[in-house]
Amino acid sequence: MTLRDAILLQKRELELRKKEKYVSRDANLPGEENRLIKVIIGPRRAGKSFFTIHWLIDKEPFGYVNFDDEQLTGSQTISEISPAIESVYGTVSTLLLDEVQNLPEWELFVNRLSRQGYNLYITGSNAHLLSKDLATHLTGRHTLTTILPFSYREYIRFIGEELTESEYREHLDLYSETGGYPEPLVTNINRKEYLSRLFDAIIFKDIIRRYKVRAPQGLGDLATYLCSNSASEYSVHRLTKVTGCKSDLTVKKYLHYLEEAFLFFSVPRFSFKVKEQLSSHKKIYCIDNGFITAKGFRVSGDKGKLYENLVAIALKYLEFQDNLRVFYWKNSQAEEVDFVIQRERQVSELIQVCVDAQSPATRQREMKALVKAGRDLKCDRLLLLTREEEGEEQIEWFGMKGVVRIMPLWKWLLDTALIH
């Protein structure tokens, strides 16, 4: 198959995709008058290209190339790509380059097209396209948009119905297990099977093949272990022991690969001392709850952990947009607050996640940790997210005082503007 034939086949597939049902996303892109390179990143199959296609669909004609196609990944084809695009699409000034990280020396190709005056939209499923790489190769001439699997708000938009509070809670419980990957939601395919295959494909395509991993079993065992222990504290040394990897250095490298492929992300422990923060344990979270239930040892998981993972994803999305930084807090008595929100070097909010805080012992534990952290971090915005409770509660603990807002998780997820 010639290069032109491959792009022509992709064009036919593109026309079919334009007719598929589209659920609007919360993300936005700059208008076509903005000639900066538009970079759209996020996990595989999260909807990056579909989002961009529908953003462009009514704006102006555009050419499309998907570099996940093996016909297009050889470096010898770079000089042939532009003429092949023109032969298929005619003279267009806008190009959508999908999964561009698969093209060797993609940054040279993108820079060349930019200098030639093209309005460029490029997508990538690898965080290697993030910050340092983009700053180095595109030197500030780009905007960055992150697309993750459907948030709960986007999931509810897909449902497209007016719901009662009880129904919002029921859908939250379902969403906390199914996750937000679009394809299983809009088709009748088996969700667990689809996500399991996707997870394995990401590990193979974006890690094992890309980095020529010599001992893939250890990487796979680590990924499965992390799915089973999402929303848990970890140390690299312990991960080395439980997964049987060769060394702590190997585990560090594998963790970096897994985060770079948008499968997991870590949240550091909060400390005012940078050195202490770097040396402390971290907590691991999965980019989508569906992976947890599809690949983890526990079929349905712990609802508390699943709820916490949803909050972590929502906060990570905001962190991607440089709106805040996210930590967790833990003191010497092992009392813990799930999330510390920092804006402009100031702690602005503390968030605790608890499915059911009705039990006196549970309530006291969660509230006490919030009040103690509020005192230590000089923060009076204290929030407890639960399945259905709502209100405010004044807390006193050995001279410490605080007012804790209590909010249903479904309501918080529907309106992340509540995160000030």
Q: How do beta strands 37-41 and 119-124 pair? A: parallel
pLDDT at 323: 75
CB 416 within 8 A of CB 401: no
Scan for tokens 């040394």, then name that residue: 237
**What's the whole-number mean pLDDT along residues 135-158?**
87
Range 268-287 average pLDDT:
87
How far apart are alpha carbons 384 and 357 in whole angstroms? 9
Which among 146, 174, 203 is the end of a domain?
146
Q: Cα-flanking dihedrals φ and ψ of residue 63, to 5°?
A: -95, 155
Site of tokens 């680590």: 222
Given a cut of 90, is residue 287 above it in pLDDT? yes
Residue of 93, 31, 100 whose CA lies nearest to 62: 93
168 and 274 co-located in one domain: yes
Single-letter residue type at 354: C
| CB contact at 8 A, 286 and 226 | yes
pLDDT of residue 130: 55
Residue 47 in any domain: the answer is yes
CATH of the domain at 283: 1.10.10
Q: What is the mean pLDDT of residues 196-202?
A: 97
* Predicted local confidence at residue 21, as pLDDT: 86
Would you say residue 301 lies in a domain?
Answer: yes
Query: Residue 140: pLDDT above 90?
Result: no
- Crossing angle of the two packed helices 78-89 and 3-18, in degrees rounded to 10: 50
**Averaged pLDDT score across all residues of the chain:** 90
Give yes or no: residues 158 and 132 share one domain: no
Residue with more model confidence, 132 or 273 = 273
Q: What is the mean pLDDT of residues 217-222?
A: 95
What burial letters (b/e) apply to 391-405, b meaning 16+ CB within 10 Å?
Answer: eeeebeeeeeebebb
| Domain identity same for 333 and 302 | no
Residues 127 and 231 in one domain: no
- In this predicted model, what pLDDT tens digit does every residue of 352-399 receive, in sequence order? 999 999 999 999 999 999 999 999 999 999 999 999 999 999 988 767
Q: Do residues 199 and 168 share a domain?
A: yes
- The reply to whether 305 and 164 lie within a common domain is yes
Is the per-residue pLDDT at 88 higher than 90?
A: yes
Answer yes or no: is pLDDT of 46 > 70: yes
Residues 190 and 279 placed together within one structural domain of the fold: yes
Work out the burial of residue 140: count CB atoms within 10 Å of its CB; fewer than 13 is exposed, 13-18 middle, 19 or more buried.
exposed
Local confidence band at 135 (pLDDT 50, 70, 90 cut-offs): low
One domain, residues 284 and 358: no
What is the DSSP secondary structure assignment for residue 113, as one 8-state letter?
H
Q: 127 pLDDT exceeds 80? A: no
117 and 14 in a common domain? yes
Task: Read off the pLDDT of residues 16-40 as tens digits, 9 standing for 90 and up.
Answer: 999 888 999 999 898 766 788 999 9
| The domain boundary residue, chosen from 251, 283, 311 | 311
Rg (CA), the chain: 23
pLDDT band, very low/low/confident/very high, at 339 (cuts 50, 70, 90): very high
- Residues 341 and 379: their CA atoms lie apart, in Å, by 10
pLDDT in tens, 234-270: 999 999 999 989 899 999 999 999 999 999 999 999 9
Q: Is the domain of 270 the same as that of 344?
A: no
Question: Model confidence at 229, in pLDDT bands (50, 70, 90)?
Answer: very high
Does 300 lie in the same domain as 229?
Answer: yes
Is 318 within the bounds of a domain?
no
Mean pLDDT of 149-176: 95
Q: How far apart are CA 92 and CA 90, in angstroms?
A: 6
- The band of 415, judged by pLDDT with boundaries at 50, 70 and 90, is confident
> Residue 245: which of 260, 257, 262, 263 has the closest Cα?
257
Residue with tokens 């990401």: 202
In the chain, the amino acid numbered 250 is T
pLDDT number for residue 420: 39
Amino acid at 238: R
pLDDT at 301: 52
pLDDT value of residue 390: 96
Asked whether residue 141 falls in the same domain as residue 173, the answer is no
Which amino acid type is present at position 52? T
Q: Which domain holds residue 180?
A: 151-311
Q: Which tokens belong to 242? A: 């439980």
| pLDDT over 90 at 15, yes or no | yes
Q: How many domains does one find in the chain?
A: 3
Q: Is residue 261 part of a domain?
A: yes
Indicate if the alpha-carbon torsion angle 33, 46, 101, 251 is positive or negative. Answer: positive
For the cut 80, the answer to whether the pLDDT of residue 136 exceeds it is no
Q: Domain boundary residue among 101, 121, 146?
A: 146
32: CATH: 3.40.50.300
Q: Is the pLDDT of residue 100 over 50?
A: yes
Q: Is residue 29 part of a domain?
A: yes
- Report yes or no on 319 lying in a domain: no
- Phi, psi dihedrals of residue 365, rounded to the nearest 5°: -60, -50
Residue 181 in any domain: the answer is yes
Q: Is 316 inside any structural domain?
A: no
- Average pLDDT of the residues in 304-331: 94
- Position 410 scores a pLDDT of 97
pLDDT of residue 299: 47
Q: Is the pLDDT of residue 300 over 80?
A: no
Give the mean model confidence (pLDDT) for residues 267-275: 86
- What torsion, rounded to 10 degrees, do the Cα atoms 285, 41, 66, 109 define? -130
Name the percent of the chain lying above pLDDT 90: 70
Residue partners of 370: CB distance under 8 A and separation at least 6? 337, 350, 352, 382, 384, 395, 402, 404
